[in-house]
């Protein structure tokens, strides 16, 4: 239910083509590259807001999921083949993002070691270098958010104001404001605007 809601929000609000592959791998094509960071943070905040059941046998894995949610790589590049009816997505953007995730994969059956969960990769090394510090800081902020804060971020990234979010969640506007400030919304909003402006000018 949560994932279907997310996929529908991505399609409706950003015109994205998004799909689950193998059950736990999400591919997403964002038509307007300047909106990609907002989409990535939307996905991350939605995943982190999903309540999960504790599993005593795999408690360390549950804790990692609660803290980090999902790892995301933004691949900024072209698509050589893109056919939604046949389910074909192929090109340098997909290749670069997939390779970046695999490079950073330190997960084994017995051990999980996570340093970063949010990446940007393109063929422009100057652009990569300019984005890296910002994404590292965003990563740090997002990994500290609670499920409630993540839920508020999700709705804010969709353009909802605090009054509307309070009504959706059945809480007061000051409570939403507290969650928003605790999650570092001001910094996140500025980062999204900077990313938008930078890629719009590419």
Q: Name 8's bridge partners.
A: none
pTM of the predicted model, to two decimals?
0.88
At 49, which helix (H) or strand (E)? helix 36-49
Least confident of 66-70, 172-176, 198-202: 66-70
Question: 11-69, pLDDT tens digit by residue?
Answer: 999 999 998 887 668 889 999 999 999 999 999 999 999 886 555 555 555 565 566 66
**What pLDDT is attached to residue 113?**
44
List strand residue ranges (DSSP E) for 14-102, in order: 17-21, 25-29, 72-76, 81-83, 88-90
170: left (phi over 0), alpha (psi -120 to 50) or beta: left
Across the range 165-184, mean pLDDT stands at 97
- What integer pLDDT is reported at residue 59 of this predicted model? 57
* pLDDT tens readout for residues 99-108: 888 776 655 4
Dihedral pair phi/psi, residue 99, rounded to 5°: -65, -40
């Amino acid at each position: 239910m949560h994932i279907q809601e997310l996929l529908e929000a991505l399609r409706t609000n950003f015109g994205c083509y998004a799909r689950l592959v193998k059950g736990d791998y999400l591919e997403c094509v964002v038509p307007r590259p300047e909106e990609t960071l907002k989409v990535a943070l939307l996905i991350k905040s939605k995943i982190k807001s999903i309540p999960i059941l504790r599993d005593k046998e795999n408690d360390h894995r549950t804790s990692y999921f609660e803290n980090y949610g999902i790892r995301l790589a933004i691949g900024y590049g072209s698509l050589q083949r893109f056919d939604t009816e046949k389910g074909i997505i192929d090109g340098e953007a997909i290749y670069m993002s997939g390779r970046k995730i695999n490079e950073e994969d330190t997960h084994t059956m017995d051990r999980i070691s996570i340093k970063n969960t949010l990446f940007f990769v393109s063929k422009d090394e100057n652009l990569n270098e300019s984005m890296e510090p910002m994404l590292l800081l965003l990563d740090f902020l997002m990994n500290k958010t609670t499920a409630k804060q993540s839920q508020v971020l999700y709705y804010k990234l969709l353009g909802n104001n605090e009054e509307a979010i309070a009504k959706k969640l059945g809480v007061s506007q000051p409570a939403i404001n507290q969650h928003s400030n605790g999650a570092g919304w001001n910094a996140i909003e500025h980062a999204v605007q900077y990313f938008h402006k930078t890629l719009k000018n590419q």
